[in-house]
Amino acid sequence: MKHAFLAVIALIVIAWLGSLVGLDYLFGVIFPYVAFAIFLGGFIYRVANWAKSPVPFRIPTTSGQGKSLDWVKQDKLDCPVTFWQTVGRMLLEVFAFRSLFKNTKAEMHDGPKLVYGSSKWLWLFGLAFHYCFLIIVVRHLRLFLNPVPAFIGKIEFFDGLFQIGVPVLYQTDLIFVGAVTFLFLRRVLVPQVRYISFAADYFPLFLIFAIAATGILMRYFIRVDIVSIKQLTVGLATFSPAISGDIGSLFYIHIFLVSALLAYFPFSKLMHLGGVFLSPTRNLANNNRMVRHVNPWNDPNIKPHSYADYEDEFRQFMADADIPLEKELPPEPEPEPEPEAEETEKPAEPAAEEASGETPAEKE
């Protein structure tokens, strides 16, 4: 946590110093471009890299009744069998965090007695966090597009529906900060989660919190030169960036943190954004017995211990037990009655008793 916190502080200080010594162009133009390029290139590289590895086996985690007999009701979304059912499962996963919605919390009581309670807070705040983030990003398109598309105005209108304060308070800002705070507090306060967390978990939270905080400061408290900002951002979007006027350090801190997030994104756990689409336990249909799934590296040379070898080893026993044979027994007068029994490959002592692993009392 310490490292992650210091890293974000360092980013803030760097941007602040940069703006003080007049590196406006570096922080306002070059870093954003570089960061965006890293984000795009990195994201594509990571997804392509995952996609390069094949999916040898079809391994969906079935979370409901599969398709079997006609009269057995299939759970189409938790155990999809067709392409479109699978799309449905993925949409629910991506847009509604369906698996997380199932979350429970286990407690151990005297007895012993295990109790499982519903636990939907993580789902709720996780969903709030992601949707607010999305809406905020979309709202920011206002800065990059000229003229501003009508839908952005609509989003802003609904986001500020309660008309609190001037400028109007966006609910998403509030919820977003609340959700980030929740995710952070949960990570620190829930012992299990705290124990598994490390810098890569705290850093994005601190970074995103700092981005939100600087953004909110700019909008509600410390006004910056919005006209100059828009000039710069539209310039960025049209590849003709220009900086005019003194925009203010806060803006440079904000945009530098965003640049850091973009550049960091492809190399971090934030890639779950791309990865969730490639998760073989979710994006495959449960139609394994219906439709062949091909493993590109399937090794045809791996063959079972052949029946011929098996019969060679046990022919005498099989004959004695009236089990049908492929080949006749060798003629009787041979000196050794079971000539092939011993010479075949054979593990020493394949004792049934040992193999079952149970104490004798547990067996028949």
Partner 1 sequence: MADTKVEQMSVNVVKEPSMMTGAIPRKDWMDIPVTFKPGNYCYPAKKSIVEYLDKGLPGLFGEPREWTVESDDWKLPENWVEIILQGMRERLDKFRSFKVFMDICVRCGACADKCHFFLGTGDPKNMPVLRAELLRSIYRGNFTKAGKILGSIARGREMTFEVLKEWFMYFYQCTECRRCSVFCPYGIDTAEITMMARELLHLVGVGTNWILEPAANSNRTGNHLGLQPHTFKQNAEFLLDDIEEVTGVKLNSLTFNRKGAEVLFVIPSADVFAEPGIFTFMGYLLIFEHIGLDYTISTYSSEGGNFGSFTNNELMKKLNGKMYAEAKRLGVKWILGGECGHMWRVVHQYMETMNGPPDNLEVPVSPITGTVFENAAAAKMVHISEFTADLIMHNKLKIDKSRNDHRIVTFHDSCNPSRGMGMLEEPRYILQNVCNNFYEMPENTIREQTFCCGSGTGLNTGEIMDLRMRGGLPRANAVKHVEDKHGVNMLSCICAIDRATLLALMEYWNPNVGVCGISELVGNALIMDGEKERDQDLRFEELLGAGQAGESGNNEEGE
Q: Enumerate residues 188-217 that contact partner 1 by CB under 8 A.
A: 190-201
Least distance to partner 1 from the beta carbon of 36, Å? 20
Contact between 327 and partner 1 by CB under 8 A: the answer reads no
Residues with Cβ within 8 Å of residue 20, at least 6 apart in sequence: 249
CB 187 within 8 A of CB 166: no
Nearer to partner 1, 64 or 235 (CB): 64
CB 209 within 8 A of CB 11: no
Contact between 339 and partner 1 by CB under 8 A: the answer reads no
Contact between 343 and partner 1 by CB under 8 A: the answer reads no
Which two tokens mark 190? 């829930």
Site for partner 1 in 3-32 (CB under 8 A): 3
Site for partner 1 in 111-140 (CB under 8 A): 111-114, 116, 122, 126
Stretch that binds partner 1, among 18-26, 229-237, 255-263, 354-362 (CB under 8 A): 354-362
Could you tell me the sign of the dihedral formed by the alpha carbons of 53, 56, 58, 61, in that order? negative
Contact between 103 and partner 1 by CB under 8 A: the answer reads yes
| Among positions 294, 327, 328, 342, the unique one binding partner 1 when judged by CB under 8 A | 294
Nearer to partner 1, 113 or 239 (CB): 113
Comparing CA positions, the residue from 190, 211, 194 lying closest to residue 202 is 194
Contact between 328 and partner 1 by CB under 8 A: the answer reads no
The residue type of 121 is W
Contact between 95 and partner 1 by CB under 8 A: the answer reads no
Site for partner 1 in 58-77 (CB under 8 A): 58-59, 61-69, 71-73, 75
Stretch that binds partner 1, among 163-171, 214-222, 245-253, 293-301 (CB under 8 A): 293-301
What number of residues does the chain have? 364
Query: How far apart, in Å, do the first and last CA atoms of the chain sit?
Result: 57
Residue 202, CA distances (Å) to 177, 180, 186 in order: 15, 11, 11
Site for partner 1 in 223-262 (CB under 8 A): none
What's the rounded Cα separation, in Å, for the pair 216 and 169? Answer: 10
Alpha carbon 65 to its chain centroid, in Å, reads 25
Contact between 56 and partner 1 by CB under 8 A: the answer reads yes
